[in-house]
């Protein structure tokens, strides 16, 4: 017998807002589950800069447009969703927890596992910060390390090594408010790097040790995996939009034109046709520039910015002493992974092997999302399928943005509070 539930993920990024709705089908006989994409939609991001909300009304507008289009495609209304969380306010640290096994016979129960994780969670953080993830890296039973799941084992002393990710309380409140105004409850906040790792990394890469670099519009998320679990997470406040800005300044064109040039350079099919150095920009319809040297653009403008991103990645790896613990190398994903020369930069600066990571593990309407820029939202669906809750199915109806300011805003607020 197959059991079905609906999972959805919303990525509120600096360049786009993406909603993905998927059906999780669990085959009880085989103990396997498949994640089947039913609807996915993207709208240009507004009111969000470097992963942080700077204008709630604009962010709500962009989210409604993305959510509605995905709901229309799937034929269902969403009540809750997994939300990606990025921005430079993300910090991480590793923590250790110890408890005595409560059972008289020394058998470790799920309750003991929960208690030891809670013990590791009790870290000192400022009031303005909140813990979003406590990820067990390994358990230690009576001094024996390397245990992945101690439930049912025998022992007296249970320890755990965890990786804790924290975020700014204010940033989370703003994000929760924006999503709630769309009429959606937050199932869970998921760190962007962790979500992308669900869809992009193989279990072998995680086990051997690898670095996931998710280059978004305004920020770059960094996640380092060793022995199957994250050991370091951070966010670098530089992204693909910085490359566009550099092109706009260097060529003295508008940001829109700079983005067109960047996308043309990154389009392998068009670039391969032209062996010569001169790039023909006539088809882009730019008024100021007709032809330009490809080498000037790549070597003089784009590569230095990419080198800066990977130099910061290398600095962070060296600072944490992780440079020699990641033999699987660098896996680059996110929209910025499509930038020309990104692999060469990564290999040259980090001195590690590198590959582009594309979303895996989904079925259904996946033609449009087998692309690095959809890694986070695909990962949110896979994360939800692994740890998530059931979403009741309701037929699709149009969303209306209610006023949030002034007398009408107060009136609707009171009505909302009175509703069950």
Higher per-residue pLDDT: 174 or 285: 174
Per-residue tokens: 11: 């990525």
Q: Kindly report the backbone phi and psi dihedral angles of residue 367, in degrees, each rounded to the nearest multiple of 5, phi listed first.
A: -55, -40
Q: Which residues share a beta bridge with 356? A: 332
Half-sphere exposure of 393 (CA within 13 A, CB side): 11
What number is the average pLDDT over the span 111-126?
Answer: 93
b/e per residue 287-304 (b: at least 16 CB within 10 A): eeeeebeeeebbeebbbe
What's the confidence (pLDDT) of residue 390? 46
Token output for 206:
């995680």
Q: What is the pLDDT of residue 407?
A: 54
Cα angle: 196, vertex 201, 205; to 5 degrees: 145
The CATH architecture to which 92-166 belongs is: 2-Layer Sandwich (3.30)
Burial label for 94, CB within 10 Å (0-12, 13-18, 19+), is middle
Q: Is residue 28 pLDDT above 90, yes or no?
A: no
3-state secondary structure of 20: strand
What pLDDT sits at residue 420? 52
pLDDT confidence of residue 392:
45
Q: Which of 1-10, 226-235, 256-265, 409-418 has the lowest mean pLDDT?
A: 409-418
List Cβ neighbours of 360 (8 Å cut-off, separation of 6 or more).
199, 200
Give the CA distances from residue 126 to residues 81, 94, 123, 183, 237, in Å, rounded to whole numbers and listed in that order: 28, 16, 10, 31, 22
Q: In the prediction, which pLDDT does 71 show?
A: 93
Q: What is the pLDDT of residues 82-101, one digit of tens each?
A: 999 998 899 999 999 999 99
The domain limits of the chain are 92-166
Higher pLDDT, 268 or 68: 68
Q: What is the pLDDT of residue 305?
A: 94
> Other C-beta atoms within 10 Å of 152: how many?
9
User: Residue 147 half-sphere exposure, CB side, CA atoms within 13 Å?
Assistant: 19
Give the C-alpha separation, 309 to 306, whole Å.
5
**Confidence band (pLDDT; 50, 70, 90) for 251?**
confident
CB 39 within 8 A of CB 366: no
Statement: residue 275 has pLDDT above 60? no
Separation in Å, CA 101 to CA 105, 111, 141, 150, 362: 9, 9, 10, 11, 40
Where are any strands of DSSP class E within 121-254? Answer: 129-141, 144-147, 157-168, 185-191, 210-215, 220-226, 229-236
Please determine, for residue 247, whether its predicted confidence score (pLDDT) is greater than 70: yes
Q: Which structure tokens are listed for 371?
A: 């692309």
Max Cα–Cα distance, the chain, nearest Å: 80
Residues 218, 201: contact at Cβ < 8 Å?
no
3-class secondary-structure state, position 127: coil
Give the β-pairing of 330-333 and 91-100. unpaired
Q: Where are the alpha helices (DSSP H) in 49-168?
A: 56-74, 110-121
Q: Which helix (H) or strand (E) holds 316?
A: helix 303-319
Q: Which residues pair with 24 in a beta bridge?
A: 5, 35
Indicate the pLDDT class of residue 409, thresholds 50, 70 and 90: low
- Examine the pLDDT at 401 and tell me if it is beyond 90: no
H/E run at residue 48: strand 48-49
Average pLDDT value for residue range 317-321:
94
b (16+ CB within 10 A) / e for 165-183: bbbbeebbebbeebbebbe
Average pLDDT, whole number, for the chain?
87
- Non-local (6+) Cβ contacts of 211 within 8 A are 222, 223, 224, 225, 313, 317, 322, 326, 329, 330, 331, 350, 352
Q: What is the Cα–Cα distance from 164 to 279, expressed in whole angstroms? A: 47
Distance CA 392, CA 80 (A): 9
SS3 label, residue 198: helix
């Amino acid at each position: 017998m197959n059991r079905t539930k609906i999972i959805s993920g919303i990525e509120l990024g600096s360049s786009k807002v993406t909603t993905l709705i998927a059906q999780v089908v669990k085959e009880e006989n085989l103990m396997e589950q498949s994640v089947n994409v039913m609807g996915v939609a993207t709208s240009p991001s507004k009111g969000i800069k470097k992963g942080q909300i700077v204008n709630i009304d604009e962010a709500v507008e962009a989210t409604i447009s993305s959510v509605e289009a995905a709901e229309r495609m799937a034929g269902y209304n969403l009540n809750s969703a997994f939300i990606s969380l990025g921005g430079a306010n993300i910090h991480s640290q590793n923590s250790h927890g110890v408890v005595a096994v409560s059972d008289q016979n020394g058998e470790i129960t799920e309750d003991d596992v929960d208690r030891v994780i809670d013990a590791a969670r009790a870290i000192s953080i400022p009031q303005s910060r909140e813990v979003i993830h406590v990820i067990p890296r390994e358990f230690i039973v009576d001094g024996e390390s390397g245990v992945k799941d101690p439930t049912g084992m025998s022992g007296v002393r249970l320890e755990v090594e965890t990786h804790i990710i924290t975020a700014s309380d204010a940033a989370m409140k703003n994000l929760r408010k924006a999503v709630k105004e769309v009429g959606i409850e937050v199932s869970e906040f998921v760190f962007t790097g962790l979500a992308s790792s669900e869809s992009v990394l193989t279990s072998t890469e995680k086990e051997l040790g690898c670095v996931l670099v998710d280059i978004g519009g305004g920020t770059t998320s960094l996640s380092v995996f060793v022995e199957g679990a994250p050991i370091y997470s951070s966010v670098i406040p530089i992204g693909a939009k910085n490359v566009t800005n550099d092109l706009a300044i260097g060529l003295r064109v508008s940001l829109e034109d700079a983005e067109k040039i960047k996308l043309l350079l990154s389009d392998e099919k068009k670039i391969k046709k032209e062996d010569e150095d001169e790039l023909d920009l006539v088809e882009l319809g730019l008024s100021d520039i007709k032809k330009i040297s490809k080498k000037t653009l790549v070597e003089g403008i784009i590569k230095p910015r990419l080198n800066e991103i990977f130099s910061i990645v290398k600095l962070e790896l060296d600072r944490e002493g992780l440079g020699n613990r990641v033999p699987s190398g660098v896996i680059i994903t996110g929209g910025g992974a499509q930038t020309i020369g990104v692999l060469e930069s990564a290999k040259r600066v980090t001195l590690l092997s590198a590959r582009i990571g594309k979303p895996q593990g989904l079925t259904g309407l996946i033609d449009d999302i087998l692309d690095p820029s959809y890694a986070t939202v695909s990962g949110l669906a896979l994360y939800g399928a692994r740890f998530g809750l059931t979403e009741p199915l309701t037929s699709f109806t149009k969303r209306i943005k209610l006023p949030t300011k002034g007398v009408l805003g107060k009136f609707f607020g009171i009505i909302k509070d009175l509703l069950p």
